[in-house]
């Protein structure tokens, strides 16, 4: 039964401009919570498979406590922090800046996290 929501999620995000379409529906997918800032990547964000691409999303302010609970479980692997998660979320329609290497910031689509579990 989890395949159907994941399939609908992929269809929803493969159309249009890379997932910025809004939906009132929450979707549940397997994703990664990553932080590659120590090796000139970007700080904490989610990478979500979108067919041939990966979407990059950052949690809204109201979801940060859920994310912090997962972050406490992550160990570094040569300066890269990564954990597989099962996430239920929806886009907020806003963007949020994430600190990246060399003092740059990236604007990522913001998401509201309803549920988050480490895998």
What is the tens place of the pLDDT at every residue in 30-55?
999 999 999 989 999 999 998 899 99
Give me the mean pLDDT over the 63-80 stretch: 92
What per-residue confidence (pLDDT) applies to 21? 54
- Of 112, 2, 102, 86, nearest to 43 by C-alpha is 102
End-to-end, the C-alpha distance of the chain in Å comes to 18
Q: Which domain holds residue 27?
A: 3-118
Q: Are 12 and 55 in contact (CB under 8 A)?
A: no
CATH number, domain of 96, equals: 2.40.50
Residue 15: band (very low, low, confident or very high) from pLDDT cuts 50, 70, 90: very low
Beta bridge partners of 108: 96
Residue 8 has pLDDT above 60, yes or no: no
Helix (H, G, I), strand (E, B) or coil at 65: helix
Domain count for the chain, please give it: 1
């Amino acid at each position: 039964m989890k395949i159907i929501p994941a399939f609908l999620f992929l269809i929803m995000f493969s159309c249009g401009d890379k997932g910025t379409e809004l939906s009132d529906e929450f979707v549940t997918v397997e994703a990664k919570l990553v932080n590659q800032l120590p090796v000139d990547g970007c700080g904490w964000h989610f990478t979500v498979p979108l067919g041939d691409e990966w979407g990059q999303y950052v949690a809204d302010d109201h979801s940060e406590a859920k994310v912090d609970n997962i972050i406490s479980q992550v160990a570094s692997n040569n300066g890269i922090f990564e954990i597989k998660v099962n996430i239920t979320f929806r886009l907020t329609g806003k963007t949020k800046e994430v600190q990246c290497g060399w003092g740059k910031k990236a604007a990522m689509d913001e998401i509201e996290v309803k549920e988050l579990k480490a895998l």
